Amino acid sequence: MTELRRRMIADLRIRNYSPRTIDCYTRCVAAFARHFTKSPSDLGPEHIRRYQTYLVETKHISWSAFNQAVCALRFLYNTTLGRPGIVEDIPFPRQPSRLPVVLSPAEVARFLAAIPNLKHRTVLMTMYAAGLRLEEALHLRVTDVDSARQCLRVEQGKGQKDRYSLLPPTLLEQLRTYWKASRPKSAWLFPGQRADAPLHPTAIQRQCRLAVLRAGLAKRVTTHTMRHCFATHLLESGTDLRTIQLLLGHHSLQTSAVYLHVATPREGILRTTDLLAGTGIISSAHQ
- Annotated active-site residue 219? The verdict is no
Annotated catalytic residue 227: yes
Number of domains the chain contains: 2
CATH at 209: 1.10.443.10
Q: Does 257 map to a domain?
A: yes
Q: In 3D, which of 257, 264, 220, 223 has the Cα closest to residue 240? A: 257
Whether the per-residue pLDDT at 282 is higher than 60: the answer is no
Q: Which of 47, 214, 224, 271 is catalytic?
A: 224
Catalytic pick among 133, 139, 163, 228: 133
pLDDT in tens, 50-77: 998 899 889 988 888 888 998 999 999 9
Q: What is the CATH number of the domain that holds 51?
A: 1.10.150.130
Stronger pLDDT, 62 or 223, i.e. the higher one: 223
* Same domain? 190 vs 153: yes
259 noted as active-site residue: yes
For 30-47, how does the pLDDT look when each residue is reduced to its tens digit (9 = 90+)? 999 999 999 999 998 889
- 60 & 121 share domain: no
Residue-number span of the structural domain to which 24 is assigned: 3-87
Taking CA atoms, 115 is separated from 87, 111, 273, 287, in Å, by 46, 7, 24, 10
Q: Is residue 228 part of a domain?
A: yes
Residue 279 has pLDDT above 60, yes or no: no
Does residue 99 form part of some domain?
no
- 83: annotated active-site residue: no
> Quick one: 157 and 24 in the same domain?
no
174: closest CA among 193, 163, 189, 164?
Answer: 189
Task: Kindly state whether residues 46 and 147 are assigned to the same domain.
Answer: no
Q: What is the mean pLDDT of the chain?
A: 86
Q: Are residues 279 and 145 in the same domain?
A: yes
Q: Is residue 93 part of a domain?
A: no
| 172 in any annotated domain | yes
Q: Is the dihedral of CA 27, 94, 59, 213 positive or negative?
A: positive
pTM of structure: 0.72
73 in the same domain as 132: no
Q: Residue 241 falls within a domain, yes or no?
A: yes
Pair (21, 133) in one structural domain: no
Q: Which of 74, 227, 228, 233 is catalytic?
A: 227
Could you tell me how many residues make up the chain?
287
Catalytic residue of the set 7, 59, 158, 214 = 158
One domain, residues 123 and 247? yes
Average pLDDT over every residue of 241-256: 87
The DSSP secondary structure of 21-48, one letter per residue, reads: HHHHHHHHHHHHHHHHTS-GGG--HHHH
Q: Is residue 114 part of a domain?
A: yes
